[in-house]
Structure 1
Amino acid sequence: MKAVIQRVSKASVTIDNKIVASISYGLLVLLGISDEDTQEDIEWLSKKIANLRIFGDENGVMNKSILDRDGNAIVVSQFTLHANTKKGNRPSYIKAAKPEIAIPLYEAFVEKFQQDLGKVVQTGEFGADMKVELLNDGPVTIIIDTKNKEY
């Protein structure tokens, strides 16, 4: 799994001119799923994101997690995170999981992330044409690939 985590002052997801998700202070997580991803990736990534210390403390130092700040989150599926751009100018998405594999893993990630945060996590709609709007706070943007994890 690949995730792009952005600390936001606000974020929203719109589908067909209707806002389907909206948060104030928290995290926007763009999630790409590959055929190789497993439940172990879900568990590790969810815990890692929930505990990432990328929010400011009382001294303005990034020393607090979303849990510490009681922030909210939106998770949006994004197969394009698995784009291969090595050859030519048209990206290949061959590493991105097909919907029959990706949807259950995406839903399992959202469920696990909700458990780790102890609150409802808003989402986009898998496979939909979404408009994602955000005000990146910092800016703080972190990229995590579970294939590069260390214990």
Structure 2
Amino acid sequence: MLDDIDRRILRQLQADPALSTADLAQRCRITAATCWRRLERMQAGGIIKGQRAVIDWHALGYAVEVSLRIALDKTRPLAFDEFTAAAREVPEVLEIQSFLGRVDLRLSVIARDLVHYRQIYRERILTLPHIADVEALMLISRVKNEEALPV
């Protein structure tokens, strides 16, 4: 389990993942050696999975995000595996989520504009295998987008 020092480390790391171990230790009021050992333990335990760069896709010219709810043809035994394998190959698909219920999957798709989205939808999405139904929801605004966990 995590103690207060581990939680402090995680809060600081989430706030600024580029911190050096020495700076992180200073902010957490512990020694650099203690901080390093705790980071190593949390990485080995799978609590810290890694660090990544978060790129603003708007800055790269993508202005449209669409959430596609996909229902698959459930009469096909490999429908899920074949669909997800093919959907992973579409570069504009940022995220694939699976669900229980009427909707099987949700794809988050980005495009430069509506013309680009229409091209992706017709040429890349509708050609994916085993689709029984698609519902598109266009993102208007992101009300909350928090990646930091309450530790």
Q: Is the TM value for this pair above 0.5?
A: no
Tell me the TM-score normalised to structure 1 length: 0.23
Higher Cα Rg, which structure? 2
Greater RCO structure (CA 8 Å; 6+ sep): 1
- More strand by proportion, 1 or 2? 1
Q: Compute the TM-score of the two structures, normalised by the length of structure 2.
A: 0.23
